[in-house]
Structure 1
Amino acid sequence: MDLGIAGRLTRASIASPLTPLLLIASVLVGLLALAMLPREEEPQISVPMVDILVAANGLKAEDAVELVTKPLEDIVKGIDGVEHVYSQSLDDRVVVTARFFVGTSADAAILRVHEEISANLSTIPLGIPEPLIVGRGIDDVAIVTLTLAPRADLAPAAAERWDDNALYNIAEELLHELIKVEDVGLTYIAGGRPDQIRVEPDPERLSLYGVTLNRLVEKIENANRSFVVGRIRKDNADVPVVAGQTLSGMPDIGLLVIATHDGRPVYVKDVANIVVGAAPLEHQAWHIEPSVDGDMRVLPTVTLAIGKREGANAVVVADRLLERLETVRGELVPENIAVHVTRNYGETALDKADELLLHLGIATVSIVILIGFFVGWRESGVVLVIIPTTILLTFFASYLMGYTINRVSLFALIFSIGILVDDAIVVVENIVRHWRMKPGADPVNTAIEAVAEVGNPTIVATLTVIAALLPMMFVSGLMGPYMAPIPANASAAMLFSFFIAVMVAPWLLLKFGGGKQAVGGGGGHGHEGRMSRLYRKTARPILKSKARSWTFLLIVGVATVASTVMFANRSVTVKLLPFDNKSELQVIVDLPEGSSLEATQRVLIAAARKMADLPELAHIQAYAGTAAPFNFNGLVRHYYLRAAPEMGDLQVNLKPKHDRDRASHDIALDIRARLAGLDIPEGASIKVVEVPPGPPVLSTLLAEIYGPDAETRRNYAARVRQAFEAVDFVVDTDDSFGHPTQRLRLSIDQDNLEFHGVEEEAVYDTIAALFGGISVGYSHRGAGANPVEIAIRLPKADLGPGERLLSTPVPGRDGIVELGDVVEWKYEEASYPLFRHGGRFTEMVMADLAGQYEAPIYGMFAVEDAIAAQDWGVDGPPEIRYRGQPDDESHATLLWDGEWEITWTTFRDMGGAFIVALLGIYLLVVGQFHSFKLPL
């Protein structure tokens, strides 16, 4: 008898003393890999995003596009590995974003952009400063965030003594300790205000003493210089010579002589107020906790965001950080300051991995019990050894392939348990059947023959399963890294299961009672078990008659086709990935451009109070005018650039999922309903943002509007937004163009400028220092303390056009001249922001989906129906496209993007690869049965 590959492997191992050693070695290397594999909640996707920030001072958005944006886009588009180029042009600034293909090294991406920009700086117009290049990647996402706030159980008076400045100083010291932890990556502080020595000039006193603001700035800058000028010889040694000094505090600055007036010196303190304290209030953060009376405690706060290095184990790094925190907490953090762990991706990754490993164990035990009932308990004991061994070897393969333990890779193992056990069941059942059929034969030879009998079909079955899984390896885009662990781990599990089934299973059967009769099983007609008899009774009447066989196939075919109707009539809805049960949500608040920080604060606090009685709420962090620590979703959506007074974030932290009944998605729906009645300014938007179950996108439902000119695009985008808002399950609708605000323009009166003999540079320097402030250096405190910035700027309350500011002196030909004598001021409309994608102008309408239909395809069709119902007049509705930007922009076009793009790419790639897989399966089956017709 030709034993084949399987039979020969069984013959070599069934009685070999190496087999148990091989089994033990497999378990040990698997356990070692399980201990070494990094654990993460989500697959680590490398999708580098490089932002190029340009200060286009003095340029309107329309001019900035032509002079700055387009040349930069041309440079960036030519860089190897760039997949998408986005740009946003506003008055006085430009942001160009290069998104690289998935899998590109973040360091390589940043380096390429730097090199190309540096090599083509000549294309940047004269007067435009060199671009600032900021690269972000998945490892810049903080895995741990620590929020410092006064303890909520303290009396209000005790809590109020800790403002955001004091908390920032504590956080800064704490951060210096935490970065000592091994494998810590990017760290930063969100919220809070550092110390600052602020020189606040008084325009009236400057005029009184005849001192210009330029002179004040120059004096403090020069007085705070220190540099090495050379070396001298002293006592046969080289001694460096240092010129200058550094200002050590308020007295040093105040006593600087800036001029003389009526024969006596004029000091800095005579013309300016010197304030030592916190930096001006340009952003603010709070820690908000529900109190026992149903209200909320609103406390000042700062948050430390701590990332990890590439490839580091999030669980290990997070544990080390928290251990270090406990070590230094008593030394650096006062007792009446609470440190809240508001994000711990190490803990959530460990919980998710442990939960899925538990399910893995439950699935294994379930299969063992089933085999015990239907094959035999000794045989189920064999399977109880084989499945964990196979899974452990798969962990070892996963470690070699560079994967991590996350919810996707563990899902692959849970998914594969049902198929990886097939080889073992077939081999074990056939060996038992042969032993029963030949009770007096040598059990070893009988087992070898039994394995050889089913060996080739088992190999073909294993390869066909792998061929069916492999298409998922060829999905491109952001979804690729999410799906890749499934075919990789499942295919490895199938290969290991085959070798263990034909090498280890026969040896184990012999040890568990080789050749003895076992309960259950199946063989020939005289050796049938319960399942075999049941199958025979069911199948024989169908197979006995040709008419019955065709009738049965027809019923199955009709039922299959009929089941697809359930998708068409929406009795069964679809979604690319189900929502996961997370412990964090985000509420994004955008007020109309130009809104004050105080207005943003009011909306944020009001929104937080709407959530006060949520039973699942742990606490909230509110950030106004500054970005909250971003997650992977925020990385893709550029939430880290949200640093304007009209922008606010609420980071909503929920209780652990085992302490609450509702899932995070249900809570998000509840929060959205609560916020629907919130009183907000006209033009403001509030969005409830969940951590997506799969790869993040700019927006779940995203329509890009293309057209011949800006006005056409905005008009069509406004109508499309109306169509979005007409659909009840389309929520959180927003657009990209917003509502432009006014801005103040100060222009020079050239006639008066010439008459008074004033230099334009002096006027511009004065205006810049008055309205924007200027940093003139640092005061070095020594003793390891951080230097304190010295800044010259007016108090926020004094900022505004008026006689007082316009009386600020500027240097003229014959003495000082008031600023108001040489400048004119007026208000003007700001420009609309101009967005471009792939080198084409576009406007975007964005929304989310909530309720019964949460896949983008439902929202798209509903919006298209609403568009069709509108009266578009002679111009007609926009052309609808599902793929690719339009070639002809003479007419308005709507291109669907967002989650639809990922859905389309995923099914396109899987469909194409699956056709190839079907061909491969066909060839395997033809090779096994030597028939072209039978596989069909």
Structure 2
Amino acid sequence: MSATLGKAKGILSYFTRHGTAANLVLVILIVAGLAALPRMRAQYFPDVVVDTVRVSVAWKGAGAEDVDNAIVQLLEPTLLAVEGVTESSASSTEGRASISLDFEPGWDMQRAADDVKAAIDAETDLPEGADDPVIRWGGWTDSVTDVVITGPVGLDQLARFADELVARLFARGVTKTSIAGVAASEMIVEVPTLNLIQHDISMAEIASAIAAETDTSPAGNVGNGGARVRAGVEKREASDISAIVLRRNEDGSELTIGDVATVRVNGVDRNEAFFVGNNSSVSVQVARSDQGDSIEIQRIVEEVSAEMGLTLPDGVTLDLFRTRADAIQARLDLLLSNGAMGLGLVVILLFLFLNARTAIWVAAGIPVAMLSAIAMMYLAGLTLNMISLFALIITLGIVVDDAIVVGEHADFRVRRLKEGPIEAAENAARRMFAPVFSSTITTVIAFFGLTVISGRFGDMISDIPFTVIVVLMASLLECFIILPNHLSHSIASTAKSHWYDWPSRQVDKGFRVFRERLFRPLVGWSVKLRYPLLAGIVLLLAMQVSLVITGQVQWRFFNSPEQPLISGNFAMAPAAERADTFAMMRELQRATEAVGKRYEEQYGTNPVAYAVAQIGSNAGRGLSGTDTKEDYQLGGLSIELIDADLRPYSSYAFVEDLQAEVVNHPLAETVSFRRGHFGPGGDAIDVDLYGADSATLKAAAEALKTRLAQFPEVSALEDSLAYDKEELILELTPQGEALGFSIDTLGTTLTHRLGGIEAATYPEGVRTAAVRVELPEGELTADFMDRTQMRASSGVYVPLSDIVSVTRQTGFSTVQRENGLRLVSVSGDLSEDNPARASDIQAAITDEILPTLDEEFGITHRVSGLSEQENQFLSDAMLGLGGVLIGIYLTLAWIFSSWTRPVVVMSVIPFGLIGAIHGHAIWGIPLSMFSVVGLIGMTGIIINDSIVLVSTVDEYAKERGLFPAIIDAATDRLRPVMLTTMTTVLGLAPLLYERSADAQFLKPTVVTLSYGLGFGMVVVLMLVPAILAMQLDVARQMAALRRAVRHPRRAGLVGSAILAAGAFAALWFALTLGQVMVFGALSPLLGGGGIGAALTLFLGGLCVSFALLYVGIAGLMLRRHKAS
């Protein structure tokens, strides 16, 4: 051992010769990954950090305009000045102000919340009746499932079952639960106004008496260890409340609450009510905590539900609804199965092109790198989700590229250079260290460029760069620290012929024939015909780009995975009663059943797997502008369809038919259906309208909705501005002032009578019950103001109409502001079944409808939501791509010690677009944000083979001429170039042919990498040798130009030509790119278009003009030479 170690020179040599050290590193990496894997949490998408702080202020009884004037306009300017705030949005509704503050990406949100609190505390002019501001901030987390308890029993009994389920889940560690569909009982003390006057008592006095009697107070212990003393008796029954004494008269009689009021109890169904069919239901909503594992939580919920289901009465069921954890497991299984299949294809390919033992150790790098990456992901707090697993699949083929290059070169040194196994492995690692290291670094730079993308989509894909980078680093470690030692042993065994090497020997024979008889002459011809070859590939690139320009390959920014969830919501008019809302809910249930049966007749299966109806609230995200609606005027329906793979139509189609089937109730104000979305994307249609007054904005919003409703592909149209109830503004008359009334005391008394008083609260199981003092509902009629009597300080009751003057006004229920400007938002959903049609509708909205509305109503608009996030994403992606190209160039310049060699290496990058766009055209899928992610990643991967090829050419050129070196290097590197590309493509191939709807939103990345790298291989093998030859041509021409400049007779001609070229370039720049920068578009004489068309014209014009200039100068100089 010591003799072997004595020969080691450097770290690579040491680990090649020291098997124990190499295996120790191997064991550490594997054990770390295996230890981390079972601890990795599972969820659908990564957590998206929301850089938003929300401030809410309650002001009971205040109208939206009052809230806006007294709270929002006071706080918003102050909060906009808080450090880090980029944007604010505010909403004022009846009794509440809400302000959302967006901070710079990556801002410390705890510090942000503290700064906001400090800014609010400095404001002392908030209304006296307003509550203290509440400040919240948080992240985006997963819902796991809803457990729906339903059956032909009373709601109170269902509520007890729900309480028991929550208790059982809590005992098993599931703590993030909430119950919907039940409320704590509420005791109402109804006191008529006549009784208040007759007994000369106020509602506030009654509330105080109740508060004093419903709670008990501990008074301490009697003696040491004696009895505990408690003052008072808890009064929680209606009879107890009725017996509370309000006053003891001089004659000894008592005035009790029962003498002046009626006590009744509202049951658990007083707010929301849920229904499955005709049966009442209660929903227990289960979510994961910040550190929770969705799949583990789902397993516990299923076990607890099954155990509890055995104890329930006949007919009562516990059904799991909106179970996202099932979707998570299905999608993780999908990616894992495709990843395993891709791994199998990669291993088979390695066994065909390399001897069996070498192939085993090259393939071993895959699990080692993957497990190492999982350990790093665990330490960094990442989870197993759709994005991180997809990133691991991307690296399946890339991770063996380094090992292939080193292993193949070691095999080459044994076969061609006749080196020993240890020397061959060591020299292969040393020889390939620089190109492999540089290719890994360039790939790391490419994926690191994705970190520039900000916003919610940047947060969503942030797992991709981290995962790919740690896998590549682990692969680099495995390739140079672990692999060489094992290669030395596997190569030593190749001296003998083994039966299991028979497939690779046969492939090797055929490959040598192909390489020497076909490929070598082909490379020779590509070098000879280098300029026509370049022109042909440039023409191919132009043809593919034209597919995008002409719309044959569409663009769709983010296509959310097809989801089985649909929500239908409605809001009733102010005149509607609870019975009307109930009737509208039943209509939604009827329509759903009818459409389901129709689909069953047409397709053989009813798509409706489950449906839960509700009144008292909306389903899902709810409707906009319903803050002032009574609870009983809202309702909804949540529908879960069968899995997307089990139906040949999308949820959009079902929504369209459902909308057509529903017959609106005469008092239905808004009916809206929306398809479920997963991920951070906003609405497909989201327009903000800005103007001076709410009436104009409302009219413009209605006009916009009317025009959008003409498109059947548009659904869920809503605006954020709803009409408010009539507002009465009271002002004291001189008589009122003379009687000693003040507007504040009047306001308090009217608030008590109109809104009631919450006298006391007390625990009732897991909920909080309340005792309220209210006027009878029959007194709160339209003539309330005329009938109301108020008590003066002298004890005399006078009509309210005698002491106040009343001004009536109507307005809107909401006042929205953004950065201080009043606005209304119009949102809607757009079917993505036909991308071309969706693009046409979006274009009609931005180019025709909105400009017309601006002119018609005198407003301005901004397209926000998904469109705004798209613009931000593309802007960041362009910035990231620019940084990636600069980083790669500087890295290559350092590696090659040349400013021109990196240009040759990077020349293959734009031609990867040929394969990427063509792949999208073949598969009929639109370009998307995941195509952009793939393109940025491909920028680093596609040049890896180019780096190795160019470095080999430079090495060979030291011993022979450049042209023979180019041909020999391309021929010798054919096997590793083909292997590295084919392993990457085969690793992704199963996902490419995956038909599951769950994988479709990731397919653009798969297509981009598979087809882009596939065509990139052809470019590397054929075009890079040609460009290397062209570089020599350019070097010769530059040398001739330098000689010409130094020649006295030619200096004037060349100098004039250079000045002319510079002047033309400046003029052409002004006519193309300059015009776009100044005016936003090209001149119609140049065909119009934006920055892309301008850049194409500018570069094309320069190439043509310089080519003509070169030919002209060469002709003149040749003529002068002949003349002399």
Bin of the TM-score, shorter chain as denominator length: 0.7 to 0.9
2:834 is the counterpart of 1:852:
yes
Q: 1:314 to 1:762 in 2, by over 3 A?
A: same
Q: Once the 2 structures are TM-superposed, how far is the Cα of residue 906 of structure 1 from its aligned partner?
A: 1.7
Secondary structure at the counterpart of residue 310 of structure 1: coil
2:864 is the counterpart of 1:907:
no
Q: Once the 2 structures are TM-superposed, how far is the Cα of residue 47 of structure 1 from its aligned partner?
A: 0.6
Whichever of the two has the greater Rg, that structure is 2
Q: Once the 2 structures are TM-superposed, how far is the Cα of residue 510 of structure 1 from its aligned partner?
A: 5.0
Partner of 1:552: 533
**1:400 counterpart letter in structure 2:** L
Cα separation, 1, equivalents of 2:508 and 2:741: 111
**2:848 counterpart letter in structure 1:** A
Identify which of 614, 621, 624 aligns with 2:615: 624
Q: Once the 2 structures are TM-superposed, how far is the Cα of residue 169 of structure 1 from its aligned partner?
A: 4.3
Q: Once the 2 structures are TM-superposed, how far is the Cα of residue 775 of structure 1 from its aligned partner?
A: 1.6
Query: Retained in 1: the 8 A contact 2:448–2:465?
Result: yes
Query: Retained in 2: the 8 A contact 1:102–1:478?
Result: no
Q: Once the 2 structures are TM-superposed, how far is the Cα of residue 373 of structure 1 from its aligned partner?
A: 3.1
Partner of 2:207: 217
Cα separation, 2, equivalents of 1:814 and 1:451: 102
Q: Once the 2 structures are TM-superposed, how far is the Cα of residue 85 of structure 1 from its aligned partner?
A: 1.4
Q: 1:927 to 1:785 in 2, by over 3 A?
A: closer
Cα deviation, 1:281-323, whole Å, max 9, x if unaligned, reads 3x323243xxxxxxxx233222223434323333334434554
Q: Once the 2 structures are TM-superposed, how far is the Cα of residue 406 of structure 1 from its aligned partner?
A: 0.7
Q: 1:821 to 1:413 in 2, by over 3 A?
A: same
Secondary structure at the counterpart of residue 563 of structure 2: coil
Q: 1:235 to 1:60 in 2, by over 3 A?
A: closer
Partner of 1:339: 318
Cα separation, 2, equivalents of 1:400 and 1:377: 35
Cα deviation, 1:207-263, whole Å, max 9, x if unaligned, reads 6666654553343334335446x779x546899875544313122122234458997
Secondary structure at the counterpart of residue 823 of structure 2: strand
Cα separation, 1, equivalents of 2:109 and 2:322: 24
Cα separation, 1, equivalents of 2:171 and 2:625: 29
Q: Once the 2 structures are TM-superposed, how far is the Cα of residue 201 of structure 1 from its aligned partner?
A: 2.5
Q: Once the 2 structures are TM-superposed, how far is the Cα of residue 44 of structure 1 from its aligned partner?
A: 0.8
Partner of 1:884: none
Query: Retained in 2: the 8 A contact 1:589–1:685?
Result: yes
Q: Once the 2 structures are TM-superposed, how far is the Cα of residue 642 of structure 1 from its aligned partner?
A: 9.8
Residues 308-347 of structure 1: pairs in structure 2 closer than 5 A: 308-324=288-304, 336-347=315-326
Partner of 2:88: 85
2:755 is the counterpart of 1:768:
no
Cα separation, 1, equivalents of 2:92 and 2:778: 30
Cα separation, 2, equivalents of 1:694 and 1:327: 33
Query: Retained in 2: the 8 A contact 1:625–1:642?
Result: no
Cα separation, 2, equivalents of 1:787 and 1:729: 45
Partner of 1:584: 565
Farther-moved stretch of structure 1 (467-476 vs 190-199): 190-199
Relative to total residues, which structure has the larger helix share, 1 or 2? 2
2:897 is the counterpart of 1:919:
no
Partner of 1:248: 236
Q: Once the 2 structures are TM-superposed, how far is the Cα of residue 819 of structure 1 from its aligned partner?
A: 6.6
Secondary structure at the counterpart of residue 760 of structure 2: strand
Cα deviation, 1:368-396, whole Å, max 9, x if unaligned, reads 12223344544443344221221111111
Identify which of 399, 402, 405 aligns with 2:381: 402
Q: 1:679 to 1:799 in 2, by over 3 A?
A: farther
Partner of 1:836: 817
Q: 1:799 to 1:496 in 2, by over 3 A?
A: same
Query: Retained in 1: the 8 A contact 2:94–2:628?
Result: no
Partner of 2:430: 452
Cα separation, 2, equivalents of 1:567 and 1:426: 36
**1:561 counterpart letter in structure 2:** A
Partner of 1:147: 148
Q: Once the 2 structures are TM-superposed, how far is the Cα of residue 511 of structure 1 from its aligned partner?
A: 5.0
Aligned identity (percent) is 20
2:651 is the counterpart of 1:661:
no
Cα separation, 1, equivalents of 2:227 and 2:32: 62
Partner of 2:140: 138
Query: Retained in 1: the 8 A contact 2:625–2:721?
Result: no
Q: Once the 2 structures are TM-superposed, how far is the Cα of residue 719 of structure 1 from its aligned partner?
A: 4.5
Cα separation, 1, equivalents of 2:319 and 2:512: 58
Cα deviation, 1:568-615, whole Å, max 9, x if unaligned, reads 222222223333143433334345577655544443432333222262
Query: Retained in 2: the 8 A contact 1:48–1:106?
Result: yes
Farther-moved stretch of structure 1 (457-466 vs 751-760): 751-760
Q: Once the 2 structures are TM-superposed, how far is the Cα of residue 71 of structure 1 from its aligned partner?
A: 1.8
Q: 1:542 to 1:708 in 2, by over 3 A?
A: farther
2:659 is the counterpart of 1:675:
yes
Secondary structure at the counterpart of residue 529 of structure 2: helix
Identify which of 294, 303, 327 aligns with 2:283: 303
Query: Retained in 1: the 8 A contact 2:245–2:256?
Result: yes
2:134 is the counterpart of 1:95:
no
Q: 1:243 to 1:121 in 2, by over 3 A?
A: farther
Cα deviation, 1:37-63, whole Å, max 9, x if unaligned, reads 111111011215443233345655444
Farther-moved stretch of structure 1 (594-603 vs 404-413): 594-603
**What is the root-mean-square deviation in Å for CA atoms of aligned residues?**
4.1
Query: Retained in 2: the 8 A contact 1:587–1:651?
Result: yes
Cα separation, 1, equivalents of 2:627 and 2:783: 36
Cα deviation, 1:612-642, whole Å, max 9, x if unaligned, reads 2262322123343335577xxx89x999999
**1:605 counterpart letter in structure 2:** R
Q: Once the 2 structures are TM-superposed, how far is the Cα of residue 408 of structure 1 from its aligned partner?
A: 0.5
Secondary structure at the counterpart of residue 64 of structure 1: helix
Cα deviation, 1:98-140, whole Å, max 9, x if unaligned, reads 23445556655544433432x224032444333344444325x
Secondary structure at the counterpart of residue 577 of structure 1: coil
Cα separation, 1, equivalents of 2:338 and 2:628: 40
Q: 1:617 to 1:649 in 2, by over 3 A?
A: same
2:198 is the counterpart of 1:197:
no
Q: 1:172 to 1:478 in 2, by over 3 A?
A: same
Residues 435-446 of structure 1: pairs in structure 2 closer than 5 A: 435-437=414-416, 441-446=419-424
Q: 1:653 to 1:929 in 2, by over 3 A?
A: same
Identify which of 262, 265, 275 aligns with 1:276: 265
Farther-moved stretch of structure 1 (850-859 vs 416-425): 850-859
Q: Once the 2 structures are TM-superposed, how far is the Cα of residue 675 of structure 1 from its aligned partner?
A: 1.3
2:514 is the counterpart of 1:533:
yes
Query: Retained in 1: the 8 A contact 2:610–2:639?
Result: yes
Query: Retained in 1: the 8 A contact 2:728–2:806?
Result: yes
Partner of 1:695: 680
Cα separation, 2, equivalents of 1:461 and 1:522: 29
Identify which of 40, 49, 57 aligns with 1:37: 40
Secondary structure at the counterpart of residue 480 of structure 1: helix
Partner of 2:1017: none
TM-score, normalized by length of structure 2?
Answer: 0.70
Secondary structure at the counterpart of residue 304 of structure 1: strand
Query: Retained in 2: the 8 A contact 1:7–1:452?
Result: no
Q: 1:246 to 1:855 in 2, by over 3 A?
A: farther
Gaps of 5+ in 1: 151-158, 289-296, 879-890
Secondary structure at the counterpart of residue 240 of structure 2: helix
Farther-moved stretch of structure 1 (854-863 vs 193-202): 854-863
Query: Retained in 2: the 8 A contact 1:212–1:811?
Result: no
Q: 1:895 to 1:17 in 2, by over 3 A?
A: same
Partner of 2:1089: none
Cα separation, 1, equivalents of 2:610 and 2:661: 22
Q: Once the 2 structures are TM-superposed, how far is the Cα of residue 443 of structure 1 from its aligned partner?
A: 2.2
Cα separation, 2, equivalents of 1:854 and 1:104: 39
Cα separation, 2, equivalents of 1:814 and 1:638: 43
Cα separation, 2, equivalents of 1:256 and 1:820: 34
Identify which of 719, 728, 747 aligns with 1:735: 719
Cα deviation, 1:710-748, whole Å, max 9, x if unaligned, reads 45544544444455445554443332224x143263847
Q: How many residues align?
A: 879
Query: Retained in 2: the 8 A contact 1:607–1:675?
Result: no
Cα separation, 2, equivalents of 1:669 and 1:24: 54
Q: 1:765 to 1:620 in 2, by over 3 A?
A: same
Partner of 1:156: none
Q: 1:61 to 1:766 in 2, by over 3 A?
A: closer
Q: 1:402 to 1:786 in 2, by over 3 A?
A: closer
Identify which of 162, 172, 175 aligns with 1:184: 175
Relative to total residues, which structure has the larger strand share, 1 or 2? 1
Secondary structure at the counterpart of residue 48 of structure 2: coil
Q: 1:334 to 1:627 in 2, by over 3 A?
A: farther
Farther-moved stretch of structure 1 (89-98 vs 362-371): 89-98
Cα separation, 1, equivalents of 2:739 and 2:374: 80
